[in-house]
Amino acid sequence: MSMSARRAGCFVGDGSDEISIAHLPDPLLLVQAATTEELANDPEAYCLNWLLEEVSTSINTAAAGGNASLMAIG
């Protein structure tokens, strides 16, 4: 993965280490930070839903007169 493709990350450490992440080049849209103690006491210290990306695809069948079977021709 290229460095510019980073979108999110989970970080374990203290605040001084977290600052070094903020100084990385390129955008990092989301950082979730937790200490070792927090992770030991709470296995859900990170919100895993925030690490997922939802993608949807829509097909406009109106271009085929509303008949989706016409789009399969050709």
This prediction has a pTM of 0.44
Domain positions in the chain are 3-53
pLDDT tens, per residue, the chain with 74 residues: 444 566 677 777 776 777 777 777 777 667 788 888 888 898 888 888 877 778 888 777 776 666 667 666 65
Secondary structure of 3-68 as H, E, C letters: HHHCCEEEEECCHHHHHHHHCCCCCCCEEEEECHHHHHHCCCCCCHHHHCCCCCCCCCHHHHCCCH
What distance in Å separates the CA atoms of residue 74 and residue 65, rounded to the nearest whole number? 16
